[in-house]
Amino acid sequence: MVRTYQQYGFLSNIRANYFATRLDATMTLVFSGLILWVFWNLLNWGALNAVWSAENRDLCVGGGKGACWAVIDARWRLIMFGLYPYEEQWRSAIACIVMVGVGILSCVPWFWNAKRISVLWISGFLIFYVLMRGGFFGLTPVFEQNWGGLSLTIFIFASVSLIGMPLAIMFALLRRSELPWIARTMGLIIDIFRSLPLLAIMFTFAIVLPFVLPGWMIGDKLYRVIFGYALFFACYQAEILRGGIQALPAGQEEAAKALGMSYWHRIGYIVLPQAFRNALPPTINQFVITFKETSLVVVIGFFEILASGNAAFGTSEWSFAHVEVYFFVGLIYFIFVFALSRYGAHLERRLAVADR
Amino acid sequence: MAQATAVNIQNMDKYYGSFQALKNINLSVDKGERIVVCGPSGSGKSTLIRCINKLEDYHSGSINVLDTALDDNLDNIDAIRRETGMVFQHFNLFPHLTILENCTLAPMLVRKQSQAEAEEIAMEYLTKVKIPDQAEKYPGQLSGGQQQRVAIARALCMKPQIMLFDEPTSALDPEMISEVLDVMVSLANEGMTMICVTHEMGFARQVADRVIFMADGQVVEEAEPQTFFDNPQHERTKAFLSQILGH
C-alpha cells in the first residue's frame, strides 16, 4: 500500500498534537495535571488507604482517609438479595445467573430464530420462577414481596423488555394502520402513556388497579407493576420503531407486494428487520434507560438492588458508609449497562456489513 | 396461434384527490406481446403500469389480468401479483438480504418452495442475467446495472407470466444501460409478455410489438414501432419524438 501521509515519530507526534503553541502546551499541562490529581486521590481513597475487611466497623471509622470496603464484605448479601430469606439466598443467586445466562445466550446469532429464542426465554423464566418462588420440588415458598436485590432488578428488566417489545411492535403497526381511526386511537393511547410519569403509572397499576379489576385478574403487585412498566416501555419503543419504519423507502414494501408477499410476510421479513436496524441506537438507549429505571419500583415497596443498598447502610452501625455502598451498586449497574452498550455497538458494526 | 388476453383494461380512470391522473384508459395486451409505453414525465405511464398489479388503486372502469378481475378481493390481488413480476426504476432490492436471499425469499414464502429448490431456480436466473458469482453479496456491494439485473432475476424466480418494467434504465449510469437492456431483449425473445415503461427508443424499435404514447393521463397514440417512429400521426407524438430523438 502507498502511504499518502507523512509518518512522524512518537515524540514529534505528541509535540505536533499537544504542544504546538504556547496555549496548547499550557492547556495540556493543566488538564493532564488535573486528571492525574483526580485519579491519584481516587486511587488513594479507593485502594491504597482503603480498609478491605474488618472485624467490626470501629476499625473502619478510625481511619477516615480511605474507603471502608468492609461494609461490602459485611453487607453484600443484603445488597445482592434484599429481603430474600438468608438460608435460601443460593436460589436467588442461581436464578440471577440463569437470567443473565439467558440474556447472554440470546446475543448469540445461533438463537436468532423464533423457535430457539422462545424456548430459551420460556425455560429461562420457568427456572427463574421455580427457584425464586419455590413451592415446587420441596423448595420453601418465598413470596414476591420478599424478592429483592440484583435478581429482582434483572427479573423486572427482562420481563419488561420481553412483554414490552412485542407490544411495541404491535403499537407501531397499529399506529401506521391504513384505517385512520385505528391509527389515531393508537396515537392517542401512546401520547397519553408518554405524558404520564413512570412513577404515577407504577403507582396506579400497583395500588389502584385492584379496585377496578375483577379478582382473578389482579395477580401479585409485582406483576401489575411489571405490566404497567411494559406498557410504558412499549409506548416509547413503538415510536422508536415507527421512526425506523418510516425511514424505509416506499419501494421496499412495493417490491414485496409486487412479489405477492402477504402483509405479515412483508412486515416480518422486509419491514421489521430493516426498521430494527435503523432504530438500533435509540433502541439500545431505551433498554439502558429501562434497566436503570427499574429502581423506581422502590416506591411501591420492592427492594431491588438500589433499595437493598440503601438498607445495607441504613443501620446505625454502617450509616457512615453510604458512599462505598453506592459505589458498589453503581459498579453493578455499570457492568450491565456498559455490556449492553458495547453489545449494541457490536451489533451496529455487524449489521453495517450489508450497508456498504 | 390462438391468442389469449394477458391484460385487459377498460374505461379506467384514476384520481389523486381531485387531479385525474388517468383518463378513460383502454388497453388490451395479448399473451406473448411486448408493449412499450412512452410519453413525457407526468403523463401517467408509471401510474398506469402500477395499476396493473394494484400498487395503485384505480377508481372506475375495470382491469382484468390473466382472466382474473383486479378488484378489492385480496385473493384476486394476491393471485395476480404472483403471476406478475415487476422491475422498478430504483431496483428496490432488499438491502438486508444477500442477492441469493433476495431471489429465494418470495418463492419460498409465496410459492412454498423448499430452500434447495428456490436456490436452484435462483442460481439458474442469476446465471441468465450473468451474475451468479455475486450471489452471496449484498445489494449495496453491486453496481446499479448489476442490481437491476438482480431485480429482474428476483422477479423471474416467481415464474411470472407477465413482466412489468417501470423505467428500468432511468436511474442507471449510461454505460450500464445496455447490460440491462440485453437481459430484457433476451427475455422478450423467449416470448415473455412484457409491458415496459421506458425512454429507450432503440429497445422499443427492436422488440416492441406495439408502442403506446401517453400524454396528460391519456393514450394518445398506439401503433407498431415502424409506423410509430416513421410516421407518427399526432402532434404531441411528433413533438415528443423530435425531442427525444432529436439529438
Residues A152 and A280 reside in one and the same domain:
yes
pLDDT, position B42:
86
Is the pLDDT reported for residue A42 higher than 90?
A: no
Nearest CA in chain B to A256: B106
* B189 Cα distance to chain centroid: 16
A354–B140 CB contact, under 8 Å: yes
Beta-carbon separation of B96 and A354 below 8 A: yes
Q: Which of B88, B105, B164 sits opposite A251 (nearest CB)?
A: B88
Segment B101-150, tens digit of pLDDT: 999 999 999 999 999 999 999 999 999 998 899 999 999 899 999 999 99
**How far is the C-alpha of A137 from the C-alpha of B52, rounded, in Å?**
65
Same domain, A142 and A22: no
CB pairs under 8 A between A and B: 73
Residue in B93, B110, B164 closest to A261 by CB = B110
Is residue A77, in this structure, part of any structural domain at all?
A: yes
Minimum mean pLDDT range among A213-227, B95-109, B152-166, B172-186 = A213-227
In a domain, A290, yes or no: yes
Query: Do A111 and A37 reside in the same domain of the chain?
Result: no
**Among partner residues A252, A260, A269, which is closest to B78 by beta-carbon distance?**
A260
A32, A48, A64 — which closes off a domain?
Answer: A48
**A-chain residues near B104 (CB < 8 A):** none
A255 to chain B: closest CA residue: B92
Q: Is residue A63 part of a domain?
A: no
Query: Does residue A20 sit in the same domain as residue A99?
Result: no
**Interface probe, candidates A248, A254, A257, A259, chain B, greatest B C-beta count within 10 A:** A259
Considering only the beta carbons, identify the residue of A254, A261, A354 that sits closest to B95: A354
pLDDT above 70 covers what percent of chain B?
98
Identify the band that residue B1 occupies on the pLDDT scale cut at 50, 70 and 90: very low
Q: Which secondary-structure segment (H or E) carries A200?
A: helix A198-203
All residues of chain B having their beta carbon less than 8 Å from the beta carbon of residue A256 are 94, 106
Please check whether residues A23 and A80 belong to one and the same domain.
no
Q: Are residues A248 and A117 in the same domain?
A: yes
* Residue A342 resides in a domain: yes
Check CB contact under 8 Å for A260 and B55.
no
How confident is the model at residue A113, as a pLDDT?
A: 78
Q: Do B84 and A258 touch (CB under 8 A)?
A: yes
Cα separation values, B125 from A26, B134, B168, B190, B192, Å: 67, 12, 18, 14, 14
What does the pLDDT look like over B85-112, one tens digit per residue? 999 999 999 999 999 999 999 999 999 9
Q: Residue A5 pLDDT more than 70? A: no
More confident site: A230 or A218: A230
Residue A95 φ/ψ, nearest 5 degrees:
-55, -45
Residue in B with minimal Cα distance to A265: B109
Alpha-carbon distance A109 to B220, whole Å?
A: 57
Q: CB A353 to CB B138 under 8 A?
A: yes
Query: For chain B, which residues lie within 8 Å of any Cβ of chain A, measuring from their own Cβ?
Result: 53, 55, 78, 81-82, 84-86, 88, 90, 92-96, 105-106, 109-110, 138, 140-141, 151, 154-155, 158, 164
CB contact under 8 Å between B93 and A255, yes or no, is: yes
Q: Tell me the CB-side half-sphere exposure of residue B219, using CA atoms within 13 A.
A: 20
Asked if A44 and A90 sit in the same domain, the reply is no
The reported pLDDT for the residue numbered A140 is: 77
Yes or no, beta carbons of B95 and A270 under 8 Å apart: no
Residue A64 belongs to a domain? no
3-state secondary structure A48-106: HCCECCCCCHHHHHHHCCCCECHHHHHHHHHHHHCCCCHHHHHHHHHHHHHHHHHHHHC
Interface test with A, best of B83, B96, B99, B137 (most A CBs within 10 A): B96
Place of cell 444501460: B177
Q: Is the pLDDT of residue A97 over 70?
A: yes
Q: A28 lies in which domain range?
A: 5-48
How many other C-beta atoms lie within 10 A of the C-beta of residue B68?
15
- Phi/psi for B211 (5° steps) reads -115, 135
CB–CB of A254 and B94 under 8 A? no
A235 and A186 fall within a common domain: yes
In this model, does residue A4 exceed pLDDT 70?
no
- Of chain B, the percentage scoring pLDDT greater than 90 comes to 60
Residues in chain A closer than 8 A to B138 (CB atoms): 353-356
Q: Does one domain contain both A250 and A162?
A: yes
Q: Are residues A164 and A309 in the same domain?
A: yes
Average pLDDT over residues A81-92: 80
What pLDDT is stored for residue B137 in this prediction?
92
Residues of chain A with pLDDT > 70: what percent? 94
A77 in the same domain as A15: no
Flag whether A59 is in a domain: no
pLDDT score of A305 more than 60: yes
| Neighboring chain B residues of A259 at a CB cutoff of 8 Å | 81, 85, 105-106, 110, 154-155, 158
Residue among A258, A265, A273 minimizing CB distance to B96: A273
Is pLDDT of A64 > 80? no
Query: How many C-beta atoms lie closer than 10 Å to residue B239's C-beta?
Result: 13
Task: Note whether residue A257 is domain-resident.
Answer: yes
pLDDT above 50: residue B161: yes
CATH number of the domain to which A262 belongs: 1.10.3720.10
- A269 to chain B, closest Cα gap in Å: 9
Strands lying side by side in the sheet with B68-69: B19-30, B5-16, B60-65, B68-69
Put simply, the answer to whether A256 touches B138 (Cβ < 8 Å) is no
pLDDT digits (tens, 9 = 90+) for A117-142: 888 888 888 888 888 787 777 777 77
Residues of A in contact with B78 (CB under 8 A): 260, 262
Asked whether residue A55 is assigned to any structural domain, the reply reads no
ipTM: 0.91
Does A252 sit within 8 Å of B55, measured CB to CB?
no
Least confident of A144-153, A195-204, B153-162: A144-153
For the segment B8-25, the average pLDDT, to the nearest whole number, is 91
The predicted structure's pLDDT at residue A356: 47
Contacts (Cβ under 8 Å, ≥6 apart) of A325: A71, A72, A75, A79, A309, A310, A312, A313, A318
Q: Which residues of A touch B94 (CB under 8 A)?
A: 252, 255-256, 270, 274
Q: Note whether A297 and A197 are same-domain residues.
A: yes
Residues from A in contact with B at Cβ < 8 Å: 249, 251-252, 254-262, 265, 269-270, 273-274, 277, 351, 353-356
In this prediction, residues A201-229 reach a mean pLDDT of 83
C-alpha cell of A209? 388497579
Instruction: Give the per-residue pLDDT at B2.
Output: 45
pLDDT for A2: 54
Domain count for chain A, please give it: 2
Name the closest residue on chain A to residue B97, using Cα atoms.
A354
Kindly report, residue by residue over B193-224, the tens digit of the pLDDT. 999 999 888 899 989 999 999 999 999 999 99
Mean pLDDT of A140-145: 77
Q: Has residue B235 got a pLDDT over 50?
A: yes
Q: Which of A258, A269, A354 sits opposite B105 (nearest CB)?
A: A269
